Amino acid sequence: MWSEIFKDLDAFELGESALDVGAGFGNTTRYLLARGLRVCAVDIDPGAVAYIKSLFKEFVKSGLLKVLLAPAESLPFADGECDSVISVAAVHHFRDIEVALREMVRVAKRLVAIYDWTPEAGGVTNPHSPQELEAKMRAAADAAVKLGFDIKITRYWYRLVKF
């Protein structure tokens, strides 16, 4: 599934810098670094932040990666500070999806691309229930429509994108 999402993301020009929102255990951070971008990874979980700093310590030392503790709803960045903002498999954890999407749009200069699991993925690719994922997907789609995102839905994941 991750490879399918990253293949989809390959189609986008991300610029030189990207913000990974809800970085978790670094799958998207790794992908963005492999694309040669300067990356900032944020997560609300102190354990995830510590793990990413340890996993990618050479990138942190070189200045290619910054890792910060921050919620998606209050990103500690200036307007347009990052070329792209990417979030994979994190929206279902956000407390206020619309506020988080607005924050991502504010910080992005060029592109916001958000991917998360559909209800069909519940219990298959992740431990969340189909009902929980359905509610979060609906909230994300409602906010996305309001904010002018394009929506793509596949069997196990959906994408929200705004240029």
Number of domains the chain is built from? 1
Beta strands in the chain (DSSP E): 17-21, 38-43, 65-69, 82-88, 108-117, 150-153, 157-162
pLDDT band (50, 70, 90) for residue 26: very high
Summarize pLDDT for 31-54 with one digit per residue, the tens: 999 999 999 999 999 999 999 999
pLDDT digits (tens, 9 = 90+) for 77-95: 999 999 999 999 999 999 9
pLDDT at 128: 87
Beta strands in 22-138, from DSSP E residues, in sequence order:
38-43, 65-69, 82-88, 108-117
CATH of the domain at 97: 3.40.50.150
By the 8 A CB rule, do 35 and 14 touch? yes
Alpha carbon distance 150, 143 (integer Å): 11
Q: What is the pLDDT of residues 102-115, one digit of tens each?
A: 999 999 999 999 99
Residues 147, 161, 126, 71, CA torsion sign: negative
Write out pLDDT tens, residues 50-80. Answer: 999 999 999 999 999 999 999 999 999 999 9
| Per-residue pLDDT, 81 | 98
Q: pLDDT, tens digit, for every residue of 144-157?
A: 999 999 999 999 99
CA distance 22 to 11: 21
pLDDT exceeds 90 at position 126: no
What's the domain range around 107? 2-162
